[in-house]
Amino acid sequence: MGGVALATDAPLVGMIGATPQVAAKVDSSSAVFQPDPALVALGRRLFVDTRLSEPRGTACSSCHDPAHAFSPALSATGPGVPQGSRPGHFSRRNAPSLLYVRYVPQRYFYQDDDAPYSAPFGGLFADGRADTLTEQIRGPLFDPDEMNNASPASLLRKINDTEWSPELASRFGPTVQSDPEQLVRALGEIMQAYLQSNEMAPFSSRFDDYLRHRSTLSPQEMHGLALFKDPDKGNCANCHTLSDTASRPERSLFTDFGYDAIAVPRNLALAANRDPRYFDNGLCDTAQHLHWPEPEQWCGYMRTPGLRNVAVRQSFMHNSVFRTLRDAVAFYNTRSTKPQQWYHGRSSFDDVPPIYRAHINVNSTPMNRRPGMSPALSEMEIDDIVAFLRTLTDAAYIPAMPADSR
């Protein structure tokens, strides 16, 4: 149930572990979402309900702040990841915006004509470990560093003390008052309906108006867009896909939902990283869990995030290592030409274990260079890309953008 399933025009060509391989890329931009309005209304309330955590006080909205385009509002001095329900406990990773999350397809494998092997796409979280939004809710509810419920049974006892209990029973039947698994499934369906609603995919940015021929972008923003697409300059659209010739903004989600290993620097402020032997290996944990063949080949891979509303964010990349959008963009440009600028005297690619460093993307422009070579972009061109990325902010969040993302 739920999630953007494999499109019917993508016939199966084989299986990889438990995951079907498809013959064509899944086009989730053409999916139609019609969640039940009654469930959407319940989801809107549940999302901000702080009674679901242990101890109480943390709602989904605590980490996915509706005033910040559903990404976290962070303190400037913290580790860059949101805090859970217990003081001093922080999420293991950065929290993404939940706008447009309905377009994330379920996991699938697909082999491009010119690719040597088939590659995974889709799945929720940076490592794709949840396949659908109904399944995803188990993550935050039971993560000891997030909402910290001990078990579905303890969550059920808690919910049964609230007005949710009769409401859920009238909607899903009385078993949700006694069967913890039924309860979690019902909560998942409610949250999925909310996250699939049109209010979570507003398409109200200046870029969307530009696509609809209702307004123009400034010369600097247009130049940024050109650099973003140019395979010899930013080359960003190679992974953060867009279609500026289509007036349907769903065609421009700024991700192909694929995975890549771009080797962002280690964030030393993360608690787990105090242990030098600890690494967040991303997709290969999921690959292991799902028994894909040779799961280690995916160590270091993270899902490519969409970039809509990225200029509202206060930290960037799966490990929140960057605190300005400009740094996130500039990193690509000089990661390979001037690694010391990013890895600060530590070894390059220091957040990927040495045995997996062969997986790191050293072929895509602008990361395909060697130390000392000249970078693909000038400082001014980086500014132009940042200016373009700021046009991807939906109307409601323009006041929440930091004035200067330098």
Per CB under 6 A, residues contacting ligand HEC are 58, 60, 62-64, 82, 84, 91, 93, 95-96, 98, 101, 104, 124-126, 133, 136-137, 140-141, 146-147, 191, 234-236, 238-240, 260, 262, 264, 302, 304-305, 307, 310, 313, 316-318, 325, 328-329, 332, 361, 364, 385
Query: Least distance (Å) from ligand HEC to the CB of residue 11?
Result: 27
The CB-of-236 to ligand HEC minimum distance in angstroms stands at: 3
12 versus 48: smaller Cβ distance to ligand HEC? 48
Quote the least distance from Cβ 286 to ligand HEC, whole Å: 10
User: In this complex, which beta carbon is closest to ligand HEC, that of residue 133 or of residue 211?
Assistant: 133
Distance in Å, CB of 309 to ligand HEC, minimum:
9
Q: For residues 123 and 249, which CB has a smaller minimum distance to ligand HEC in the complex?
A: 123
Give min distance, CB of 34 to ligand HEC, in A: 19
User: Which residue number, 13 or 297, has a Cβ lying nearer to ligand HEC?
Assistant: 297
The answer to whether 3 touches 108, Cβ cutoff 8 Å, is: no
Residue 63 or 253: the one with the smaller Cβ distance to ligand HEC is 63
The minimum distance between CB 126 and ligand HEC, in angstroms, equals: 4
Toward ligand HEC, which CB reaches closer, 176 or 310? 310
Name which of 22 and 124 has its Cβ closer to ligand HEC.
124
| Cβ at position 88, least distance to ligand HEC in Å | 12
